[in-house]
Amino acid sequence: MAAKMRVSLSFILYLSSKGGSQFLALQRLTRHRFHLVHTLASEKNWMLSNIYLKFSELAVNNRDKPFSDIYGATSCAALTKF
């Protein structure tokens, strides 16, 4: 693992010395996007678990679907009101 990190680091240093600033910028953007997607998925899972805890009887009755979009304005308003 350490050898791979040394190779990766030397490759990045080589690219940065040869005008690889675009590569480094793309790498940072990609890592930041990965972090944002991971955080968004985590927050959605947290919200879904809270919706289930507050409105668990709605999950049992499948024919009544009060929220077509669980992340929509209506479901958010219902969660903040109750």
pLDDT in tens, 44-80: 899 888 877 877 765 555 566 666 776 778 777 877 7
Q: Are 40 and 62 spatial neighbours (Cβ–Cβ below 8 Å)?
A: no
DSSP state of 15: H
2 located within any domain: no
Domain region containing 73: 10-81
Distance (Å, rounded) from C-alpha 36 to C-alpha 5?
24
Task: Say what percent of the chain tops pLDDT 90.
Answer: 21
64 located within any domain: yes
pLDDT in tens, 4-31: 555 566 766 676 666 677 788 888 999 9
Q: What pLDDT is recorded for position 76?
A: 77
54 located within any domain: yes
Tokens, residue 30: 């990609």
61 located within any domain: yes
Q: Is the pLDDT of residue 40 over 70?
A: yes
1 located within any domain: no
- How many domains is the chain built from? 1
Q: What are phi and psi of 68, to 5 degrees?
A: -75, -35
3 located within any domain: no
5 located within any domain: no
